[in-house]
Homo-oligomer: A and B are copies of this chain.
């Protein structure tokens, strides 16, 4: 298909702001995305039965407590209160097996994938695929606390 076509003028200024994932335990997820992956928690919004957490890697213009609509690369985590302590809660679907296949993964690009993966190993992350597993030796996949797949991609990957 044709690449880099000029978009309709009416879409000027549109941006892909965020991806939303539901999480069972907000504290565990925010800890993973901030301490392991290096995002910052930008905003937390208590909506009553659920709380929204907006995270992203550091960007100009991020303001503590303000929904970061000015930028791309935001992750919105939705925590429905109580799931973290509900033994009957079956967990969320990662999107990568039936039934429920659809969403695949988030991908984080890192400047030095060997160093990044060595650090993840030290931190005791759950792996879906280490760098050394499988056919593609230049990408890895972590699992977040809910089992969502996080692809780790080197700068300037060529497919």
Contacts and interface: CB of A to CB of B under 8 A. Distances in A.
Interface of A: 1-5, 7-8, 10-22, 26-27, 30, 34-35, 37-45, 47, 52-53, 56-58, 62, 64-65, 67, 69-76, 78, 92-95, 99-111, 115-116, 119, 146, 148, 151, 153-159
A67 B7 contact: no
A122 to B, nearest CB: 10
Nearest to A158: B67
29 contacts: A1-B30, A3-B41, A3-B44, A4-B62, A4-B64, A5-B40, A7-B34, A10-B38, A10-B119, A11-B37, A12-B38, A14-B37, A14-B109, A14-B110, A14-B111, A17-B153, A19-B103, A20-B106, A67-B159, A69-B153, A70-B109, A76-B107, A92-B101, A93-B93, A93-B95, A99-B99, A99-B100, A100-B100, A103-B148
A18 B100 contact: no
Contact of A103 (B12, B62, B65, B102): B102
Report copies per complex: 2
B3 A40 contact: yes
A47 B107 CA distance: 18
A27 to B, nearest CB: 7
A93 B39 CA distance: 28
